[in-house]
A and B are shown apart, each in its own frame.
Chain A
Amino acid sequence: AQKITQTQPGMFVQEKEAVTLDCTYDTSDQSYGLFWYKQPSSGEMIFLIYQGSYDEQNATEGRYSLNFQKARKSANLVISASQLGDSAMYFCARRGGNKLVFGAGTILRVKS
């Protein structure tokens, strides 16, 4: 099964600090892609960052970076300088065939 595991149901972080959201995945494929999405209370899934399995460097997009450890099959999202607007649900996903397979998500709350 192409399972995505997010072991942290909820996380708190102080404003302006960094936070790491964990994600591990199952796969026997050599080539695959990993995604992180943010889902505010409004419900819309917002694409944050992508990591390809053959990318030589960890992906970065502004305050978002991905700590990709291929041998451990982990793709943790790092958010630097947290802002109050970062409070949301965060989902890790892997492309399996033509579809995305999502984890159960992590709720992040940023405290002022």
Chain B
Amino acid sequence: DAGVTQSPTHLIKTRGQQVTLRCSPKSGHDTVSWYQQALGQGPQFIFQYYEEEERQRGNFPDRFSGHQFPNYSSELNVNALLLGDSALYLCASSLGTSGRNSEYFGPGTRLLVL
């Protein structure tokens, strides 16, 4: 049973560029959430996708956008990269988000913006 997978594992970009991160959820899961984890901090919620729609969004600017495909996989796009966007980006999947349905995380994509 494949867990959550993310690609790429590492990425280096320069300020102003655009980046796309990809996530495939755990088999049987229909909900994908994205989190940003800056060094030394806990993950911060970016947004969540369910049935190909953005269901909830955290306190992130519009430069952060996403998409969910019919097979439940998801992309996170960040435009006009800033140095402060350097972080570990974590994708999490779940079957719904109620009760004890825990979110299972992927290994993350480490983004460095120079």
- With A43-B108, A105-B42 known as contacts, the answer to whether A100 contacts B100 (CB < 8 A) is no
Q: Which residues of B contact A91 (CB under 8 A)?
A: 42-43
Q: Does A50 contact B (CB under 8 A)?
A: yes
Q: Which residues of B contact A99 (CB under 8 A)?
A: 33, 45, 48, 56, 58, 97
Q: Does A28 contact B (CB under 8 A)?
A: no
Give which listed residue, B43, B56, B106, contacts A98 with CB less than 8 A: B56
Cα of A94 to Cα of B31 in the assembled complex, Å: 17
Q: How large is the interface on A (under 10, 10 to 19, 20 to 34, 35 or more residues)?
A: 20 to 34
- With A45-B43, A45-B92 known as contacts, the answer to whether A33 contacts B99 (CB < 8 A) is yes
Q: How large is the interface on B (under 10, 10 to 19, 20 to 34, 35 or more residues)?
A: 20 to 34
Q: Are B102 and A35 in contact (CB under 8 A)?
A: yes
Q: Does A104 contact B (CB under 8 A)?
A: yes
Cα of A99 to Cα of B50 in the assembled complex, Å: 12
**B71-110 toward A: CB 8 Å interface, digit per residue (1/0)?**
0000000000000000010101000010110111111101
Q: Does B55 contact A (CB under 8 A)?
A: yes
Q: Are B42 and A103 in contact (CB under 8 A)?
A: yes
Question: For window 87-112 of chain A, which residues contact chain B by CB distance below 8 Å?
Answer: 91, 93, 95, 97-105
Q: Are A104 and B42 in contact (CB under 8 A)?
A: yes
Cα of A95 to Cα of B100 in the assembled complex, Å: 9
Q: Which residues of B contact A56 (CB under 8 A)?
A: none
Q: Does A47 contact B (CB under 8 A)?
A: yes
Q: Which residues of A contact B35 (CB under 8 A)?
A: 100
Give which listed residue, A37, A45, A46, A100, contacts B45 with CB less than 8 A: A100
Cα of A86 to Cα of B90 in the assembled complex, Å: 21
- With A35-B102, A98-B56 known as contacts, the answer to whether A43 contacts B110 (CB < 8 A) is yes
Which A residues contact B (CB, under 8 angstroms)?
Answer: 4, 33, 35, 37, 42-47, 50, 52, 91, 93, 95, 97-105
- Additional pairs, 19, CB under 8 Å, beyond known A37-B105, A44-B106: A33-B99, A35-B102, A43-B90, A43-B108, A43-B110, A47-B102, A52-B99, A52-B100, A91-B43, A98-B33, A98-B50, A98-B55, A99-B33, A99-B45, A99-B56, A100-B35, A100-B43, A102-B44, A104-B41
